[in-house]
């Protein structure tokens, strides 16, 4: 086990590199996370690095439609959504340094050049950029992410994009050099590739994977294992062909076929003895034991066996791409499974709820309202910009007036404040400074310390402490009645303190605030079964076996609301009979 290795003198950190071929979107992030889960179940300590070849220094300014959600870490790092997969699967706390981008690397190299660190040499991709990449990887891999003091046994590295992309070339070269310098016992390469089935022929085609591996080998990297993505399990002849033409032993060809839920992926890897192949390659047999995945298996199977579902109306701006709300979706999954419910997310585009849509797109408008009214709860997640805001306000109003369980996250909390101000306080001009800079009813305002000229990494970011102003409030009970909670934030705007007394008199209670007492963090509506808004993003700290309390509360309230409606309906039916 790992403890024995520590007593004998700690071995150097080993590396598992995950690359992808043929097409993007194959699930390298889930594969990397699952490899980490299996290795961790063998008693090894695991950390992760995600390499993104884009020139942005981080994901903070990227469109949710293009790149999915921006995941926020404890230290305020705005990173790729795959780091969220790593944290959820491995239950670790990563840092912004665990996400390497081309922008970060070049920025560091240029800063060194400006300081004169290269002693007048011509600065080039090789060796300066590649050396920077190697140094960054080895430095980050030595930082513990599981609360212990010594470095991890294994660092799983995911290289974003597809092998052959021009953006990835410096990283491929750096990783080639790293594998050579570390030696075979310290470096394992898993190549994720697609094995498609042509509709007409019905045969599993290995040629795309063969070409992908050939290109990888031409760049100086040889895969030790293949992880083949396919709709159905690979047949024996396909494995043999891949082994022959890709120079990978048959037993090292893994098949990650489609499964009911992604929690099955670590189990697939375990069943195919992926851990044995990796441990053998990395010479870790003394430190590793047999995989212990009993709890994980129970979790995966419990989801498959759920029979009742809860309808959740997710009212958002970016509903055309579910990855835009990936952590919200996962948090709903974690909470639902904990409540023995299967989540049924009803995607509602906020723009379709607006009055203007009734004229421009009547069918979409009618369908959106039908979906909203047919759901057991309503969730409005974070977002930026004024598109769809009127629809969100109408959704919050519907939840308030009809006693439908409601959870507003970040923007969703601010929406509840604007809605109450307009429709209860009678402030028709109530708005956020984000949407209307000239309004006198500025119930949501720009935070004074935030930059108005730069967009990247200028928000209130990362883990911040929220204190409960009213210890007996519902949100405090959901968290177990602590004096405060630590949750991750990502926002530029806050509730205007000047309007707080008026709103509280109207029934919207501000039950949580920051350490100053002026920045409002949590709101609850009186005389409502469940109406909560939080300025932070609780979804970022949700874990499969540790669901986020606000999400758990929402699902419990939705289940009770659904039960009440059913009883009322049955009672009406009985009366009519």
User: What are the tokens at 165?
Assistant: 């992309």
User: What are the tokens at 530?
Assistant: 């469940």
Task: Answer for the pair 41, 292: CB distance below 8 angstroms, yes or no.
Answer: yes
Q: Please tell me which residue in 128, 494, 539, 561 is annotated as part of the active site.
A: 539
Encode burial over 153-177: b for 16+ CB neighbours within 10 A, e otherwise.
bbbbbbbbbbbbeeebebbbbbbeb
Q: Please tell me which residue in 410, 433, 494, 513 is annotated as part of the active site.
A: 410
Other CB atoms within 10 Å distance of the CB of residue 224: 21
CA angle 167, 173, 178 (to 5 degrees): 135
Coil, strand, or helix at residue 256?
strand
DSSP assignment, residue 439?
A: -
Complete edge-to-edge strand list for the sheet that includes strand 531-534:
342-349, 309-316, 377-380, 406-409, 531-534, 520-525, 508-513, 460-468, 484-491
Residue 237 CB contacts under 8 Å (≥ 6 apart), including other chains: none
Element containing residue 326 per DSSP (H, E)? helix 326-338
Please give the Cα distance from 61 to 92 (Å, whole number): 25
Please give the Cα distance from 133 to 155 (Å, whole number): 15
Asked about 539 being catalytic, the answer comes back as: yes
Burial (0-12, 13-18, 19+ Cβ within 10 Å), 325: buried
Asked about 7 being catalytic, the answer comes back as: no
- Comparing CA positions, the residue from 58, 65, 52, 73 lying closest to residue 384 is 65
Q: Please tell me which residue in 423, 528, 537, 561 is annotated as part of the active site.
A: 537
Element containing residue 564 per DSSP (H, E)? helix 549-576
Asked about 410 being catalytic, the answer comes back as: yes
Task: Answer for the pair 211, 307: CB distance below 8 angstroms, yes or no.
Answer: no
User: What are the tokens at 161?
Assistant: 């994009």
Q: Which residues are catalytic?
A: 410, 537, 539
């Amino acid at each position: 086990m790992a403890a024995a290795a520590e007593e004998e003198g700690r071995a150097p950190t080993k590396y598992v590199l995950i690359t992808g071929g043929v097409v993007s979107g194959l699930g390298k992030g889930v594969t990397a996370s699952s490899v980490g889960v299996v290795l961790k179940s063998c008693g090894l300590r695991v950390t992760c690095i995600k390499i993104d070849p884009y020139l942005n220094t981080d994901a903070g300014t990227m469109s949710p439609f293009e790149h999915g959600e921006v995941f926020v870490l404890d230290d305020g790092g705005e990173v790729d959504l795959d780091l969220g997969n790593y944290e959820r699967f491995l239950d670790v706390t990563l840092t912004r340094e665990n996400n390497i981008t081309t922008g970060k690397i070049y920025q560091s190299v240029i800063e060194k050049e400006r300081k004169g660190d290269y002693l007048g040499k011509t600065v080039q991709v090789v060796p300066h950029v590649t050396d920077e990449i190697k140094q960054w990887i080895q430095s980050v891999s030595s930082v513990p992410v599981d609360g212990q003091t010594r470095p991890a046994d294994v660092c799983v590295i995911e290289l974003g994009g597809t092998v052959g992309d021009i953006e990835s070339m410096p990283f491929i070269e750096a990783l080639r050099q790293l594998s050579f310098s570390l030696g075979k016992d310290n470096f394992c390469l898993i190549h994720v590739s697609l094995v498609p089935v042509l509709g007409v022929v019905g045969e599993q085609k290995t040629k795309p994977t063969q070409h992908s591996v050939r290109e990888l080998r031409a760049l100086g990297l040889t895969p030790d294992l293949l992880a083949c993505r396919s709709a159905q399990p690979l047949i024996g002849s396909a494995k043999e062909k891949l082994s022959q033409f890709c120079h990978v032993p048959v037993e090292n060809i893994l098949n990650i076929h489609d499964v009911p839920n992604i929690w099955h992926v670590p189990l697939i890897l375990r069943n195919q003895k992926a851990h044995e192949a990796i441990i053998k390659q990395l010479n870790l047999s003394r430190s590793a034991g047999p995989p212990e995945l009993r709890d994980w298996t129970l979790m995966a199977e419990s989801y498959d066996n759920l029979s009742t579902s809860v309808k959740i109306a997710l009212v958002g701006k970016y509903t055309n791409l579910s990855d835009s709300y990936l952590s919200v979706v996962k948090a709903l999954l974690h909470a639902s499974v904990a409540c023995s419910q299967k989540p049924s997310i009803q995607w509602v585009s906020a723009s379709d709820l607006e009055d203007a849509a009734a004229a421009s797109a009547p069918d979409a408008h009618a369908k959106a309202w039908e979906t909203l009214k047919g759901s057991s709860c309503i969730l409005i997640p974070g977002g930026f910009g004024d598109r769809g805001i009127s629809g969100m306000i109408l959704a919050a109003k519907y939840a308030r007036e009809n006693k439908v369980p409601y959870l507003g996250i970040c923007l969703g909390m601010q929406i509840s404040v604007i809605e109450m101000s307009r429709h209860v306080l009678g402030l028709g001009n109530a708005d956020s400074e984000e949407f209307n800079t000239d309004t006198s009813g500025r119930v949501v305002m720009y935070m004074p310390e935030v930059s108005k000229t730069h967009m990247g990494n200028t928000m209130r970011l990362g883990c911040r402490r929220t204190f409960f102003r009213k210890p007996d409030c519902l949100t405090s009970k959901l968290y177990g009645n602590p004096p405060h909670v630590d949750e991750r934030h990502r926002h530029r705007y806050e509730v205007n303190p000047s309007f707080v007394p008026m709103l509280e008199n109207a029934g919207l209670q501000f039950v949580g605030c920051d350490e100053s007492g002026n920045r409002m963090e949590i709101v609850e509506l009186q005389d409502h079964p469940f109406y909560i808004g939080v300025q932070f993003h609780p979804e970022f700290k949700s874990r499969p076996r540790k669901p986020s309390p606000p999400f758990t509360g929402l699902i419990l309230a939705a289940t009770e609301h659904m039960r009440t409606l059913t009883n009322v309906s049955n009672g009406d039916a009985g009366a009519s009979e």
